[in-house]
Amino acid sequence: MSLRDFNIISTIVSILKSIGVYYVLVVLLGAPILSQKLNTLYLSVLLTSLTTIPILVYCKHNNIQNLMNNLNYLRIEAKAENVIVKTSVLTVMGSWFGAFPLALDWMQPWQEWPVSSHMSSFYSL
């Protein structure tokens, strides 16, 4: 794929779609809807920057639809692409597991929303 084939508008639209999908997913999994929507948006941007952007850039998919077709049919041949996809899955799972301490006690600063999810996203990398 040459630079001529790379479509920046499609890439930006894919990143914005990913942020929206992560926002909806995080809210469906229990994030505060109205009280801390900016923090939820920050978590969505973080997850997009740790998962979607490396896939779009390194694997040279400038369109989420092409990426999803490859993932659905398990057409990931290259080792590097395999590592990036697995890292992305572990990052999302780490963020989800990071939400478990939230139910314990909100008196500690590291247990406030979404600090533990941010930390576990980075640690799962």
pLDDT tens track for 56-87: 877 665 556 666 666 655 555 667 777 777 88
- Number of folded domains that form the chain: 1
Show the domain range for 16.
Answer: 3-123
Predicted confidence (pLDDT) at residue 46 exceeds the cutoff of 60: yes
Q: Determine the average pLDDT of the residues in 81-94.
A: 82
DSSP for 32-83, written as a single string = -SSTTHHHHHHHHHHHIIIIIHHHHHHS---SHHHHHHHHHTT---SHHHHH
One-letter amino acid at 27 equals: V
Predicted confidence (pLDDT) at residue 112 exceeds the cutoff of 60: yes
Q: Determine the average pLDDT of the residues in 85-91.
A: 83
Q: What is the pLDDT of residue 61?
A: 59
Instruction: Tell which wins on pLDDT, 50 or 76.
Output: 50
Q: What is the largest CA-CA distance in the chain?
A: 53
Band (pLDDT 50/70/90 cuts) for residue 22 is: very high
Q: What is the pLDDT of residue 97?
A: 85
